[in-house]
């Protein structure tokens, strides 16, 4: 390999490394140039009325699947979703599930939530990824 080729490759690798270092570390992988989706923000998105109202919403709207109840299936389903700049819930997905019925119920519950107060970063309203555990407990359900 010639000296010039070596220097060109070294320069290219240095440029790529520098670009990688400039990428914000607090952005979700679904971010685009036009629409960043943050993982860490100055002000987190909030459910209308706060965490206590979120608990009430889950308590009132969770429908424990009968076959899962009869099978004694319990635990937490971890759901991730994006709270948009307008507070809408988008792209709800299971991070860690308990089975198709409980997972589907957790997604249904999340997708039917009212709009949240969106996140803020640097004083600007932004889209933000949010993770939420949904607890399925037979003794705590109707």
* Predicted local distance difference test score (pLDDT) of residue 34: 72
* Predicted local distance difference test score (pLDDT) of residue 66: 93
Going by C-alpha positions, the residue among 49, 23, 27 that lies closest to residue 39 is 27
* Predicted local distance difference test score (pLDDT) of residue 21: 45
Q: What is the pTM of this model?
A: 0.78
Query: DSSP character for 114?
Result: P
State the Cα–Cα distance between residues 62 and 110, nearest whole angstrom.
10
* Predicted local distance difference test score (pLDDT) of residue 18: 44
80-136 pLDDT, tens digit per residue, is 999 999 999 999 999 999 999 999 999 999 999 999 999 999 999 999 999 999 999
Q: Which domains does the chain have, with CATH numbers?
A: 26-136 (3.30.2420.10)
Question: Coil, helix or strand for 100?
Answer: helix
* Predicted local distance difference test score (pLDDT) of residue 142: 46
* Predicted local distance difference test score (pLDDT) of residue 125: 95
6-55 pLDDT, tens digit per residue, is 667 656 555 554 444 444 557 656 666 677 888 889 999 999 999 999 99
How many whole angstroms from its chain centre is CA 1?
48
Q: What residues contact 54, with CB distance under 8 A and at least 6 apart?
A: 47
* Predicted local distance difference test score (pLDDT) of residue 13: 56
């Amino acid at each position: 390999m010639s000296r010039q080729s070596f220097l060109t490759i070294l320069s290219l690798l240095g440029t790529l490394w520098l670009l990688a270092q400039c990428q914000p570390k607090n952005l979700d992988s679904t971010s685009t140039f036009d629409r960043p989706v943050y993982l860490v923000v100055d002000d987190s998105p909030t459910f209308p009325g706060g965490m206590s109202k979120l608990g009430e919403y889950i308590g009132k709207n969770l429908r424990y699947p009968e076959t899962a109840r009869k099978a004694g299936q319990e635990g937490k389903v971890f759901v991730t979703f994006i709270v948009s700049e307008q507070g809408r819930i988008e792209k709800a997905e299971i991070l860690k599930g308990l089975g198709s019925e409980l997972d589907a119920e957790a997604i249904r519950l999340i997708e039917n939530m009212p709009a949240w107060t969106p996140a803020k970063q640097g004083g600007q309203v932004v889209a933000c990824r949010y993770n939420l555990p949904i607890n399925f407990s037979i003794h705590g359900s109707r």
